[in-house]
């Protein structure tokens, strides 16, 4: 690797909400290095008290998201070479969530809204019943499939400018989840969920900036899901029923 002896200049947020500053570290550049590798190197060799969160390291658990050079990313799957700006990195906690310490945010609000938008599945059958036969070609199933691979990393929540201005808004992840359930034939809470997601913190607050779609690491399109919920809301309000 040509940059084998090169050092990365990395600025990392240290401190809590509104009370902290960026500290600068020099980190050895390595081949195929991820942002999470950089943060881990800093904690192990330079700053043992640095707080950050990760678990699976393979883009499945959604716990390592951070702001890298101003853009929210899953750090375990983000290669340094792809996001480096003039040989420098700035790593900060996710936006729109309270910072506990350094790079760790308090995600309670994110998951509370997920539940608040009725993100829970309400089954119509018990384990003793036959498994529901749903064709993959069914249009509603196709809608759900397109949105279902969310790992709850909160990248979209951090990217959303509407949440930044309107903290009561449920946000893209919670509404995307609600959209998958509204398209699930087996779910029984269609009406009550629709009432919740068309309420004051619901889908009608979305300005369709599409930052959620732009930055979703799993390439989902929550804006499209929210647009679907808006159509559902409109149909229900004007014509009633499903």
Partner 1 sequence: MIGARLYLLQRLSALVMAPLVLGHLATMIYAVQNGLSAVEILSRTQGSILWGLFYGLFVIAVSIHAAIGLRIVLFEWGVLPVRRLDLFTWGAGLLLFFLGARAIVAVVM
Residues within the interface to partner 1 (CB under 8 A): 162, 165-166, 168, 198-200, 202, 204-205, 230, 233-234, 236-238
Nearer of residues 79 and 200 to partner 1, judged by Cβ: 200
> Of the candidates 83, 88, 72, which has an alpha carbon nearest to the alpha carbon of residue 34?
83
Q: SS3 for 169?
A: coil
* Beta-bridge mates of residue 25: 10
Q: 148, 170, 147: which is closest to 160 by C-alpha?
A: 170
CB of 197 to partner 1, least distance (A): 9
Least CB distance from residue 206 to partner 1, whole Å?
10
Q: How far is the CB of 229 from partner 1 (least distance, A)?
A: 10
Percent helix, percent strand, percent coil in the chain, to nearest 5:
40, 20, 45
What minimum distance in Å lies between the beta carbon of 22 and partner 1? 26
Between 105 and 233, whose beta carbon lies closer to partner 1? 233
Among residues 23 and 204, whose Cβ is nearest to partner 1? 204
Kindly tell me which of 33 and 205 has the beta carbon lying closer to partner 1: 205
The rounded distance, in Å, linking the Cα atoms of 41 and 183 is 44
Residue whose entry in the numeric block shows the structure tokens 């400018």:
161
In this complex, which beta carbon is closest to partner 1, that of residue 82 or of residue 200?
Answer: 200
Helix axes of 222-239 and 172-182: crossing angle, nearest 10 degrees:
60
CB of 154 to partner 1, least distance (A): 21
């Amino acid at each position: 690797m040509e940059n084998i002896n090169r050092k990365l200049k990395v600025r990392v947020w240290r401190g809590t909400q509104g009370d902290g500053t960026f500290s600068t570290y020099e980190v050895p550049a390595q081949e195929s290095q991820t942002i999470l590798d950089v943060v881990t190197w800093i904690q192990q060799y330079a700053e043992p008290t640095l707080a950050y969160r990760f678990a699976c390291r393979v883009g499945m658990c959604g716990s390592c998201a951070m702001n890298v050079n101003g853009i929210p990313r899953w750090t375990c799957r983000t290669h340094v070479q792809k996001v480096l700006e003039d040989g420098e990195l700035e790593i900060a906690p996710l936006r729109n969530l309270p910072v506990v310490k350094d790079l760790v945010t308090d995600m309670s609000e994110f998951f509370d809204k997920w539940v608040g938008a009725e993100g829970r599945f309400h089954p119509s059958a018990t384990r003793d019943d036959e498994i529901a036969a749903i064709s993959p070609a069914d249009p509603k199933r196709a809608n759900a499939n397109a949105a279902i691979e969310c790992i709850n990393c909160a990248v979209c929540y951090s990217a959303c400018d509407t949440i930044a201005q309107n903290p009561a808004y449920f946000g893209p992840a919670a509404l995307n989840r609600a959209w998958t359930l509204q398209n699930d034939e087996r779910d029984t809470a269609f009406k009550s969920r629709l009432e919740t997601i068309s309420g004051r913190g619901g889908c009608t607050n979305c300005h369709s900036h599409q930052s959620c779609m732009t930055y979703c690491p799993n390439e989902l399109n929550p804006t499209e899901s929210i647009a679907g919920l808006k159509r559902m809301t409109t149909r229900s309000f004007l014509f009633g029923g499903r």
